[in-house]
Amino acid sequence: AQSVAQPEDQVNVAEGNPLTVKCTYSVSGNPYLFWYVQYPNRGLQFLLKYITGDNLVKGSYGFEAEFNKSQTSFHLKKPSALVSDSALYFCAVRPYSGAGSYQLTFGKGTKLSVIP
């Protein structure tokens, strides 16, 4: 069975500084990896995904993530944080094929606070 770990419940960063939100995963075979963001009382908004190809994935709103197969990690990054980036961030995984390939398994989420 697949699993996702987001080791930090909360990340605080000053506006203008780079930010990193960590994610490690466990899955049989090749993974599909996703990052979503959730604002209060809203659904999940897609940021980016890794399916295959270049390990550095660029997504919406200036976010990017690096797939590291040997460390089974998919950390989310942004060079310069904005106050409007403050939200709850979720990493998710699904196997490329086989059992569970039609469901996303999510991490517990990381609350990002960008301090002005």
Site size toward other proteins (CB under 8 A) is 24
111 near other proteins (CB under 8 A): no
Which of residues 43 and 116 has its CB atom nearest to other proteins in the complex? Answer: 43
Q: Which of 45, 55, 60, 113 touches other proteins by CB under 8 A?
A: 45
42 near other proteins (CB under 8 A): yes
Which of residues 42 and 69 has its CB atom nearest to other proteins in the complex? Answer: 42
Residues 6+ apart with CB under 8 A from 21: 6, 8, 11, 75, 76, 77, 89, 91, 110, 112
Please check whether residue 74 is in contact with residue 65, taking contact to mean a CB–CB distance below 8 angstroms.
yes
103 near other proteins (CB under 8 A): yes
101 near other proteins (CB under 8 A): yes
Residues contributing to the site for other proteins (CB under 8 A): 32, 34, 36, 41-46, 49, 51, 90, 92, 94, 100-109
